[in-house]
Structure 1
Amino acid sequence: MITGLNAANAYSAARQAVAPDAQSASQTLARVGQAAEDFAAQMAQVDQVSTSAMMGQTSTQQLVQTIAEAELTMNTVVAIRDKVVEAYQEILRMPV
């Protein structure tokens, strides 16, 4: 038989099990920040190589390789963004 005391004890135990860890949250935030910086650096490199290619200072092969890397990076960022938006929409659909 479930009593109020049993339910309160179960809730208390479950609450501790799913409590967020402040250290892991800060590490996750640091990783997200680093990923954003890496993305910005990749896009800056594409701009620099494109400009060099237009002035004849960089080979076409180097330009194509840099653009391919940037495309892969952009697809990864878009996929992550889509997952975040999907998770947010799922949270909004949860009954309160």
Structure 2
Amino acid sequence: MLSGLNAATAYSAARQAVAPEPGTGARTLERVGQAAEDFAAQMAMVDEVSTGAMTGKVTTQQLVQTIAEAELTLNTVVAIRDKVVEAYQDILRMPV
């Protein structure tokens, strides 16, 4: 049978085990910012290659490859956005 002291001790041990490392939030925010910058750079490269293809400076193969990479990047960003929205909606549905 658990006494109040045992329960408090178990809670304290469990809380320390699942606590995030100090500075984890800052690193995560930095990674998200870097991912956003990479996405913007990828989209800028698509614009640049598309313009180059129209002027004849870039081959069709390079254009298709760049567009395929951009599509993969866009699908990844959309999947992440969907997961974030889903998590937010789950939080909103939690009873208070």
Structure 1-normalised TM-score? 0.86
- By how many angstroms is 1:63 displaced? 1.1
- By how many angstroms is 1:16 displaced? 1.3
Aligned residue for 1:58?
58
- By how many angstroms is 1:38 displaced? 0.9
Gaps of 5+ in 1: none
Aligned residue for 2:80?
80
Aligned length in residues = 96
SS at match of 1:57: coil
The runs of 4+ residues in structure 1 deviating greater than 4 Å are: none
Gaps of 5+ in 2: none
- By how many angstroms is 1:82 displaced? 0.9
The Cα RMSD (Å) is 1.5
Cα distance between partner residues in 2 of 1:19 and 1:66: 42
Structure 2-normalised TM-score? 0.86
Deviations 1:36-62 (A, max 9, x none): 111111000001111111222212221
Identical-pair percentage = 79
Aligned residue for 1:90?
90
SS at match of 2:23: helix
Aligned residue for 2:3?
3
Which stretch of the first structure deviates more once superposed, 22-31 or 54-63?
Answer: 22-31
